[in-house]
Amino acid sequence: MRSNSVVEALRGGVDLLQLRAKAATTRERIRWSVALQELAAPFDVPVLVNDDVEAAARSGARGVHVGQRDASVNEARARLGEGAWIGVSTHNLEEAVAAWKAGATHLGMGCCFPSPTKPEASPLNHTEFRQTLVQVPLPVFAIGGIDAGNLAQLRVLGVRHVAVSSAVLDHENPTSAAADLLRQLL
């Protein structure tokens, strides 16, 4: 974990952190989630754990974000409680509606553009993304390959939330990168 980059991103206005460590063990995710929560606390920013409900529960994270093949919303809710944030990765309108009806608090939808963190993923049809924003009354986070150069293409669809990684953390100045994305979303 690059704690300096995370703190710089928080200074730039990042308002939600998600720990995504695919190859890590639950024990490692717990440790890293606790560390992220300590970094985020002065900024009053919540932390979610990707894919691992147990790590989210044991670390005291605000919630979890699950994929289509991970724990269900009901399983996550049973373990984390009614107040937990439970996000679901979706790739089309059908999955988005199902996650909403299952009780998700928010969605991640994409990938929107080719992404270095998921090179195998095919970009989502933007028309379907727009339909999802209209039909599903949850915060929908656009994900996948988003940066300052292509965010305007999503804004015209109605996107108000984005999930980014390399666009901020790999930037030479994470504070200004985060602030620039935030300005474009306002």
Give the mean pLDDT of 12-16. Answer: 98
Q: How far apart are CA 63 and CA 85, in angstroms?
A: 4
Reported confidence tier of residue 120, pLDDT bands at 50, 70, 90: confident
Q: How far apart are CA 85 and CA 8, in angstroms?
A: 24
Q: Per-residue pLDDT for 128 more than 70? A: yes
Q: How far apart are CA 84 and CA 60, in angstroms?
A: 10
What pTM value is reported for the model?
0.94
SS3 48: strand
Of 168, 93, 179, the closest CA to residue 136 belongs to 93
Q: Per-residue pLDDT for 5 more than 90? A: yes
Identify the pLDDT of residue 1.
55
Give the mean pLDDT of 153-176. Answer: 95
Q: How far apart are CA 95 and CA 56, in angstroms?
A: 23
Identify the pLDDT of residue 122.
83
Query: If you average pLDDT over every residue of the chain, what do you get?
Result: 95
Q: How far apart are CA 98 and CA 101, in angstroms?
A: 5
Percent of the chain at pLDDT exceeding 70: 99
pLDDT tens sequence across 33-71? 999 999 999 999 999 999 999 999 999 999 999 999 999
Sign of the Cα pseudo-torsion (88, 94, 98, 104, in order):
positive
Q: Per-residue pLDDT for 3 more than 80? A: no
Identify the pLDDT of residue 31.
98
Q: Which two tokens stand for residue 15?
A: 């308002």
The residue ranking higher by pLDDT, 148 or 121, is 148
Reported confidence tier of residue 117, pLDDT bands at 50, 70, 90: confident
Q: Does domain 3-185 have CATH number 3.30.70.240?
A: no
Spans of all domains in the chain? 3-185
